[in-house]
Structure 1
Amino acid sequence: MKSKVFGLFLAALLFGCSTEDSEDEEYQNIPIAFQVPSNFPPLVYNLSSNPLTEKGFELGKKLFYDGRLASDGLVSCAFCHIQQDAFTHHGHTVSHGVNNAVGTRNAQPIQNLAFQNVFMWDGAANHLDMQAIIPFTSEIEMNGNFTDAVAMMKADQEYRKLFKAAFVNGEVNSANMLKALAQFMIMAVSSNSKFDKYRRGESGGTLSQTEMEGYSVFNQKCASCHATDLFTDNSFRNNGLAVNPAVDDKGRYRVTELEQDKYKFKVPSLRNVEKTAPYMHDGRFFTLDAVLNHYTNGVTNSATLDNSLSNNGVLGIPLTNDEKVKIIAFLKTLTDTEFLTNPQLSEF
């Protein structure tokens, strides 16, 4: 059955209170029923600790698109996470922040995060409620300050009303701010691609022969890392990228300081991968062809190289040109147009 994550939510919006109501008039806050798509693994996020509600989601959405949270009043979360590009910073090798500051890593997509237990390229966050702290406080991203953000929100009538409706204690504070942002990200579920419909036996889910053959090759040569219908095993691996000496990003090692974690990065989901270029943690590849060429003849050996990329001294994954064409055809079936255009996730 097609995912109905937004079913009750959409109905609830029809009866939501106007934002022009007086501040003393309370919003009606309606729970959102979250349904796990039938072809997905179990939910990881504990919804009982942060129950999804109409106003909690609405608050999180307002926060996500509000540039006033940044030190320059402009750079919102959405600045680097654009919906039509699966909430990535399309075309930018690495993200740009306040005062045109340039980071060192490519913005990851925001999709299906409630099914993951660790976040960021290096796993610096292990809870979705805490993930937003990193970009919010980063000097080269939003350069935000919680004291200033809370003061701004307390001075905003709409924020005061939403916080009051969204949470039992009704407080405008950083904890509730982070929970609301988490609710928005939880609801960013991509589960209605052509591939999903194929997996669930739904109308519109017929794969062509080329796509089916690509799926077969993918399962043979790629699915050990890009596992399940989320297309990631949430592990950290060194995939043989040549080190950029100007940055020397050691990946997971920056968090654990363990030698075995040097140059390991989180395996990204391949959902909507057609829309999320450029690729890799530093955005070095601009096409899917370039990515596959890396795996066939560009893998660099090192002490922590993933075992799957070294077979009896032979580096990489053997792929013919025909297999590459078929894999890319299959990967394009992971594009979820409904997700990329869902008005409930859009700013306006």
Structure 2
Amino acid sequence: MRKLSIAILVFLMLVLTYSFKNEQANPYELFYSQNLSTFTAQQNQLLSLIENTTSFDSVSKTTLLKKIRENRIHLKKIDFWLRYFEPNAYRKINGPLPVEWETEVFEKFEKPYKREGAGLTVSEIYLGEDSVDKKILLNYTQMATEAISVYNTQPILENLKSSDVFFLCNRLFILNLASIYSTGFENPNSENIIPELRQMLSDVNEIYTAYNITFEDKKLTAAYLDLYRQTINFVAHASDDYTQFNHFVFIRDYVNPLYTINQTYIAKYQIVSKNMLDYSLNINNPSIFDKSLFTAQNPNGIYHRIKDPNILKEIDSIGKLLFYDPILSGNNERSCASCHKAEDYFTDTRIKTALQFNPAKVLPRNTPSLINAPYNHLMMLDGKLLSLQEQVQTVTTNPHEMGSSEGEMLKKVMSCPTYKKAFKKFANYTPANQKVSLNHIYSAITAYYSKFSQYYSPFDEAMSSKKEIPEEAIKGFNLFMSKAQCATCHFVPTFSGIKPPYIGNEFEVLGVPSDTTFTSISQDKGRYEVNPATETLHAFRTTTLRNAEKTKPYMHNGVFNSLEEVINFYNRGAGAGHKLSVPNQTATADSLHLNLAEKKQLIRFIQSLNEKITFEKPPVGLPKSKIKKLNTRKVGGSY
């Protein structure tokens, strides 16, 4: 009781403090401060409850779970701001995992670092364990309670005075409506996902009201508010069962149009963000399903400043020739197209893993498709590379892949008058790099193949233009977002491991077997080789499901040859569900209980992600070289 009284006293003091500090505060700031105070008090109550718990039997667990779920509702009143203002503090309040190594775009500037998660979600998951250690549970709650104080510092409070920041918070909120809030990504109790979403939508409506009173010069329009009320009404009439929720209609008819209107505000008011969360997002993007949503890579590399369409067309033409030219390999017999075949969506569907430079051996990993590669912040399945150009460099100089050397490559390419003339011309358009370098060569190649990532699928068209797709595909998408749990790793709209605000790549441990007998796990250490940690052992970057039907075989080792096999693997609980030892598995080890009809619906949805790409035929010939022995090389290479 004494500790509970202290918590109430702390709450009253906070309220008085806020009242004193905010005598002149506007309704928008007051809503924030009052609800932050309430949530702080509720967290202190939870802390006291745990401290006073002597044994974690079913009764005490039920009491604690009830309190945690109550606190989640209080959190969601201010989630709109907290997630945007300080994401690292948010992870300690409501992190999905106790430890995260998901690697952000900022790895381009600093090494990945361990980030501890704590708070409500991990506490709820932990209470589901047979044995509960009070110290661990207390630590999760203490970390969360301490993290709240960050949101009452002056730099954070200053954000509340900016209407610009409001629209940036709102953008992230809307993106999370499409990707996070309705999928169970950070809510372990599926029964509460839709009720919590319903409550959150109502709370944000209060934020909107307070905002419009406060910022009369940049109000949300009646059209936006009317659409938002329709969104609230849609969710209000939905079933509490998230497996019955129509995610397709929710996103198509409500969330995406809300996003479009908010983007018009950002463009109209010329809002420029200083928050690194907005590093990748495009202020001029019109739709969540438009491929200008965010920028991860610079496809044109050294040519990124060139705007002349005629010069860009010439670069593309030379890039295409180089893509098919085995001159880039050590033996003049291997080209980029040897493994990345255009007709196979720039992968190789004929073999589990590609041939090595020595064709008597094969590579350890499956060839990834180059389609949509520009949307990855980190390249390769283990995320060891940072750019498309670095990927070309690494592959061409790898003794097991193309077996060339940088000096030899440049010499051979420049021995061809066609290439030499072109690159000397292109170098004039790169003032800081007027001497032809390998970067000019690499950038031409990436510029060529990246253009094939600008196409759309029937699903995109359904979402942005409201074109029809089969009902079975819609059912499959709704399964994808709920019962099948796919969307907790493959996020809308890339359907990869890149979630809002699209600055990071997630890596998952699935327990992929070495073969389909499931007698052992693949020994490939994956991300661990780049960033050694317990959590990264056997972890791989979550790749896109776009064009998945066209890009078999699947998994890093090509172990599965059909989508049916992949779905069956997940349906039984991935590696652990197949009785393999995977102590750090991130996919659920429980059965998903998908029936045959549901599996077919999932596949129908994945098929709707096949992009309508217009591929090109290979070049009819290759440039002649002044080195005669090079003039016998074949388009696409010999093997």
What's the TM-score once normalised by structure 2's chain length?
0.45
Task: Tell me the equivalent position of 1:145.
Answer: 405
Counterpart selection for 1:165 from 420, 425, 450? 425
User: Following the alignment from structure 1 to structure 2, what is the Cα–Cα distance between the partners of residues 248 and 309?
Assistant: 20
User: Following the alignment from structure 1 to structure 2, what is the Cα–Cα distance between the partners of residues 37 and 270?
Assistant: 23
Query: For 1:35-66, what per-residue CA distance to the aligned partner results, in whole angstroms no more than 9, with x for missing partners?
Result: 97841331122468641522332232222111
One-letter amino acid of the structure 2 residue matched with residue 309 of structure 1 = T
1:304 correspondence with 2:304: no
> Match of 1:200, SS?
helix
Where does structure 1 lack aligned partners over 5 or more consecutive residues?
A: 1-34
Counterpart selection for 1:218 from 468, 477, 480? 480
User: Following the alignment from structure 2 to structure 1, what is the Cα–Cα distance between the partners of residues 380 and 323?
Assistant: 17
CA shift in 2, pair 1:249/1:110, >3 Å: same
Query: 2:452 touches 2:615 (CA, 8 Å); kept in 1?
Result: no
CA shift in 2, pair 1:37/1:90, >3 Å: farther
User: Following the alignment from structure 1 to structure 2, what is the Cα–Cα distance between the partners of residues 122 and 48?
Assistant: 22
> Match of 1:265, SS?
strand
Query: 2:301 touches 2:443 (CA, 8 Å); kept in 1?
Result: no
Task: Tell me the equivalent position of 1:125.
Answer: 385
CA shift in 2, pair 1:213/1:117, >3 Å: same
Which has the larger displacement, 294-303 or 66-75?
294-303
How much has 1:109 moved relative to structure 2?
0.4
Counterpart selection for 2:511 from 212, 234, 240? 240
User: Following the alignment from structure 2 to structure 1, what is the Cα–Cα distance between the partners of residues 285 and 380?
Assistant: 23
User: Following the alignment from structure 1 to structure 2, what is the Cα–Cα distance between the partners of residues 346 and 43?
Assistant: 29
Task: Tell me the equivalent position of 1:27.
Answer: none
Identity of aligned residues (%): 27
Task: Tell me the equivalent position of 1:78.
Answer: 337
Query: 1:59 touches 1:166 (CA, 8 Å); kept in 2?
Result: no
User: Following the alignment from structure 2 to structure 1, what is the Cα–Cα distance between the partners of residues 461 and 565?
Assistant: 28
How much has 1:132 moved relative to structure 2?
1.2
How much has 1:316 moved relative to structure 2?
4.5
1:43 correspondence with 2:288: no
RCO greater where, 1 or 2, for CA within 8 Å and sep 6 or more?
Answer: 1
Query: 1:272 touches 1:332 (CA, 8 Å); kept in 2?
Result: yes
Which has the larger displacement, 240-249 or 208-217?
240-249
1:62 correspondence with 2:335: no
Task: Tell me the equivalent position of 2:438.
Answer: 174
One-letter amino acid of the structure 2 residue matched with residue 44 of structure 1 = A
1:342 correspondence with 2:615: yes
Q: Higher helix share goes to which structure?
A: 2
One-letter amino acid of the structure 2 residue matched with residue 303 of structure 1 = P
Task: Tell me the equivalent position of 2:146.
Answer: none
Task: Tell me the equivalent position of 2:366.
Answer: 106
Task: Tell me the equivalent position of 2:459.
Answer: 195
Which has the larger displacement, 52-61 or 228-237?
52-61
How much has 1:246 moved relative to structure 2?
9.7
One-letter amino acid of the structure 1 residue matched with residue 615 of structure 2 = N
Query: 1:114 touches 1:128 (CA, 8 Å); kept in 2?
Result: yes
Which has the larger displacement, 321-330 or 35-44?
35-44
Query: 1:253 touches 1:263 (CA, 8 Å); kept in 2?
Result: yes
**Residue-pair matches, total:** 304
One-letter amino acid of the structure 2 residue matched with residue 121 of structure 1 = L
CA shift in 2, pair 1:151/1:199, >3 Å: same
State the structure with more CA Rg.
2
One-letter amino acid of the structure 2 residue matched with residue 342 of structure 1 = F
- Show the 5 A alignment for 1:183-332: 183-201=447-465, 205-220=467-482, 221-233=485-497, 234-243=505-514, 248-297=523-572, 299-301=574-576, 302-306=582-586, 308-310=587-589, 315-332=590-607
> Match of 1:237, SS?
strand
Query: 1:64 touches 1:77 (CA, 8 Å); kept in 2?
Result: yes
Task: Tell me the equivalent position of 1:17.
Answer: none
Query: 1:163 touches 1:171 (CA, 8 Å); kept in 2?
Result: no
Query: 1:70 touches 1:144 (CA, 8 Å); kept in 2?
Result: yes
Query: For 1:318-348, what per-residue CA distance to the aligned partner results, in whole angstroms no more than 9, with x for missing partners?
Result: 32211100000111111123x2x332x8545
User: Following the alignment from structure 1 to structure 2, what is the Cα–Cα distance between the partners of residues 213 and 247?
Assistant: 33
User: Following the alignment from structure 1 to structure 2, what is the Cα–Cα distance between the partners of residues 37 and 106?
Assistant: 35
Task: Tell me the equivalent position of 2:242.
Answer: none
Query: 2:513 touches 2:521 (CA, 8 Å); kept in 1?
Result: no
CA shift in 2, pair 1:264/1:246, >3 Å: closer
What's the TM-score once normalised by structure 1's chain length?
0.81
Task: Tell me the equivalent position of 1:31.
Answer: none
Query: 1:109 touches 1:276 (CA, 8 Å); kept in 2?
Result: yes
CA shift in 2, pair 1:225/1:271, >3 Å: same
CA shift in 2, pair 1:36/1:293, >3 Å: same
How much has 1:248 moved relative to structure 2?
1.4
One-letter amino acid of the structure 2 residue matched with residue 214 of structure 1 = G
How much has 1:272 moved relative to structure 2?
0.8
How much has 1:181 moved relative to structure 2?
2.2
Query: For 1:116-144, what per-residue CA distance to the aligned partner results, in whole angstroms no more than 9, with x for missing partners?
Result: 21011111101222111222122221111
CA shift in 2, pair 1:59/1:187, >3 Å: same
CA shift in 2, pair 1:188/1:305, >3 Å: same
> Match of 2:601, SS?
helix
